[in-house]
Each structure stands twice: as structure tokens, then as C-alpha cells.
Amino acid sequence: MPTTKQLLSSAEVARFTAHGFLRLDGVVPREMNEEALGVFAAGALPAVPYGTAVPVAFPEGSFARRLLELPAVAGALESLVGPDPAVDHHFVHTRPPHEGSAQPLHADALIDVRADAFDVQLMYYPQEVTAGMGGTLVVPGSHLRRINESDTGRYQNLRGQTRLTCPAGTVLLLHHGIWHGGRRNDSDTVRHMYKIRFNPTVPQVRLWDTRDVDSPAVREELRRTFPWYEQATARLEIHNRILLWRSLTADPGFDIDHWATRISNRPAAHAASRSTV
């Protein structure tokens, strides 16, 4: 198994910026997945106070610490929230067989209007998740349309939504604002999902492998639209991504099709500043 952290590329971070999540399929080895099922069934995870540093929350050698030290997981987390994030909270979500109900569509916690920072939620699936087991429903590209908790709970289905099916050992990394919900489990198998929410402790600026930051693939990812977008407001979603990308790259001049530049143009303000020089 490789031991070097695997930082994300600029194109991958741009994909996260557009989609609101990143999928790492099957990155946790089989023996850890088998161990996880025992740990989760036993309820053996410790309580963690809000804002605890990772080394304090998860001591060396603990299951959670070893999960976070896997190269693909460690690299992706560092690329998005930095090298020393704090643990906001963690929880094992367990869905019994044939439970008959699902979570409403929601975003976690209070409405969050930060434009230059975001938390990341890690969701780990130790088992193969089949369609019958339900999985996590996610609405791609919803994370920058701010809502408060279950404001979207009345929506049953949106075009382009994804209901996770995945191999065992899959990790999902989500922007804190993504619309999502756990689907009901119609299978004969207990389904487990382990969630950890991380708060950044450093500015989220160029934390990834930036060698491809000027690649055309970056703009291709940031231009992406999704089937549930309305025609007009799809442009607002892209505008919000431009603002986030400017913050992530410390590049205030970054733009797509001149959208952010034209609406921030203040000729009178520019003229006033020149006249005082």
C-alpha cells in the first residue's frame, strides 16, 4: 500500500467546487472494512467535543485515526481543509433492514453564508452499498444554494440526483452545504455509514497540488451544470463557484465568460480612487 499522501489536482478540486462532493471508491482496504463493522456494531467510538484536534480526538492506532491516515483520504482532506483540521463531530449512522422510512432532503446545521471557507464531511461506507440498501442521496451542485437544515425536505426527487451505490471501502467527501439524505434500507442487511465533520484551521488557499491550476480542465469543471438547475439561476451557481475559486486560489481576477468581472465593475469608485492619488 502506498504511504505518501495523494494531494488532489486542481481539476479535482474544481470538480469538488462544482459538484459539492468528491468520491473515493474502494480506497479503504478489506481488512479495515471488516474491522469497522465490528467497531460500529459495538458502539466503540469515543465521544469527541466540538472543535477537537484530530490527534486528540483520535489517538494514534485507533480505527478512526488509521482511516484518516490512508494516503488517498489524508491527501484529499489536506487538499480541501488543510493539514490540521479540527473534528466538529462524528457519528455512526446505522440503517436497519426494511426500516420503511428515509431522511428528508436537507443540509446539515444552520444556514452557513461563508463565501471563503467551508467544512468537509467525510462519509465512509465499510460495506458494498447496493440499490436495495438505499445509500445516501446527494443533489450535485446544490451546496452553494444556501438553505437552512430541512428547508428542502418537501422535495421528493430532483432531476440529476444521485443515490449512492458503491463498493466496500468507499469514502465520500462533501461540502457542508450539500443537499443530501439517507435513503431507507429495503434490504436484509444492516447498513452502516460513519460520518466525520471537519473544520479548517488554516486558510483554504492553494492546499492541493496546483501544478495544473491553469489547465483548461479547471474551467470545464467549473462551467458544469446539472439537470435540476433552472436556466437562469444556473448562471448564479457558476458565479458563486467563480467567487469560491477566486478565494481558493487567491486569484481575484479569475473569471468565466466575464460574469464576475462585469457585475463587480465600479467605474465611479475607480475614478474617485485615482483622483485622490
Domain CATH code at residue 142? 2.60.120.620
pLDDT at 275: 58
pLDDT at 196: 98
pLDDT at 274: 59
Extended beta strands in the chain, E state: 21-24, 52-53, 86-95, 120-125, 136-138, 162-163, 170-175, 180-182, 191-199
Q: Distance (Å, rounded) from C-alpha 116 to C-alpha 25?
A: 28
pLDDT at 2: 46
pLDDT at 272: 59
pLDDT at 5: 75
Contact (Cβ atoms closer than 8 angstroms) between residue 260 and residue 25: no
pTM of the model: 0.92
pLDDT at 100: 80
Structural domains of the chain, count: 1
Domain hosting residue 230, numbered range: 1-277
For residue 151, what are the CA distances in angstroms to 21, 107, 147, 277? 20, 8, 6, 50
What is residue 23's three-state secondary structure?
strand
**Could you list the mean pLDDT of each consecutive 10-residue stretch along the chain, which spans 277 residues?**
76 98 98 96 89 96 96 98 96 91 89 90 97 94 92 90 95 97 93 96 98 97 95 91 97 93 81 58
